[in-house]
Amino acid sequence: MARAPLSSWFSRRPPDGLSDGDAHVLLAERLGVAADAVDGWTVATRLSATSFELGNRELKAYARRIAAAAVLRRAWRLVGPIRRATRPVFEVMDEPFRGELAVDATLENVAGKRFPEREDWIVERREDREQQLVLMMDVSLSMAGENLAIAAVAAAVLALKMRAEDLSVVVFESVARTVSRLEERDDPEQLVARLLAEPARGYTNIEAGLRLGGREIRRGRNPSRAGLLITDGVSTAGGDPLPAVDAFPRLHVLLTEDYKMDPALCERLAGIGRGAVFRVAHHAELPAKMLDIANRVLR
């Protein structure tokens, strides 16, 4: 799957009135470091903190741009060469060189025949396997700092592996919001920048995330649709999340383990959703686990 070079995504300058150089110096002052010590990943880990106030609109745009670049570079290194998921298609050979001869199927068709017919010759070819996914992510106060930046890397892994219009991202704390929507083309930079603009705040309302995710998945037109919920299973706001699972053709749960997790709820959510539970022992494992899930769920 062809993608624009990563560097081209970050070549845009901030609006007139504040150059990159000026923005960089101001950002260094906000971080309390020398200008040559500013790096995008540090900015990414700070953006979600409500105490990290940038004020200036252009400075915010610059900070989000270099933070998104750092997040995407991590995701890009993890994903490596991007290959779309495919599935085998077997069909009658209508034209030469379209697919490879499916030997077993062809031999089965011609067995016992003196004169094989055209319909007996079967070829196998590969075609893109498209699946739509709604990712629901916790952005409550407990996710502030590096945890949210790491979660953004995990979301970027999916964004790099899927067509833009096939991925929706919903974030939730006390309330839920849609960051990107099915059937709309948001490139990975836009998605990551919006995620990093989310301040970590509020409580954990899993029900709200699933309700909004359920409304989002109904927008999809692909019969292969699924939800993926990232959670430790502990709701501190909202009602019972179990009834909200009915909206999903399939729901998988990525359980982030910690001392207060509720694995039983995660198992029940995935069970009702006819999906699987994937586990990570630490948030740092999220991006690699997301790549594993993408390779398994999207194929």
pLDDT digits (tens, 9 = 90+) for 248-293: 999 999 999 988 899 999 999 999 999 999 999 988 999 999 999 8
Predicted pLDDT of residue 265: 96
State whether 102 and 169 are in the same domain: no
Residue 147 CA to chain centroid, in angstroms? 15
Q: Within a domain: residue 1?
A: no
Cβ 253 vs Cβ 278: under 8 Å? yes
Residues in the chain: 299
Half-sphere exposure of 248 (CA within 13 A, CB side): 31
Angstrom distance (rounded) from CA 254 to CA 277:
6
State whether 215 and 261 are in the same domain: yes
State whether 210 and 283 are in the same domain: yes
CATH of the domain at 185: 3.40.50.410
State whether 36 and 161 are in the same domain: no
Predicted pLDDT of residue 8: 44
Predicted pLDDT of residue 47: 85
Q: Within a domain: residue 268?
A: yes
Positions in the chain short of pLDDT 70: 1-17, 81-103, 105-108, 110, 117-118, 120-129, 298-299
Predicted pLDDT of residue 92: 62
State whether 43 and 142 are in the same domain: no
Q: Let me know how many helices (H) and strands (E) the chain has, helices first.
A: 9, 9
| E strands in the chain | 86-92, 100-101, 122-128, 132-138, 167-172, 176-180, 225-231, 251-256, 277-280
Q: How many Cβ atoms from other residues are within 10 Å of residue 273's Cβ?
A: 23
Q: Within a domain: residue 25?
A: yes
Q: pLDDT digits over 111-153, tens only?
A: 777 777 667 666 666 555 578 999 999 999 988 889 999 999 9
Contacts of 139 (CB under 8 A, 6+ apart): 48, 148, 151, 171, 172, 173, 198, 199, 200, 201
Q: How many folded domains does the chain comprise?
A: 3
Q: Within a domain: residue 281?
A: yes
Q: Is 191 helix (H, G, I), strand (E, B) or coil?
A: helix
State whether 102 and 202 are in the same domain: no
Amino acid at 84: R
State whether 147 and 15 are in the same domain: no
Angstrom distance (rounded) from CA 217 to CA 294:
18
Cβ 188 vs Cβ 106: under 8 Å? no
Predicted pLDDT of residue 206: 97
Predicted pLDDT of residue 264: 95
State whether 228 and 122 are in the same domain: no
Parent domain of 231: 132-297
Apex 223 CA angle, 85 and 187, nearest 5: 55
State whether 180 and 227 are in the same domain: yes
Angstrom distance (rounded) from CA 294 to CA 285:
14
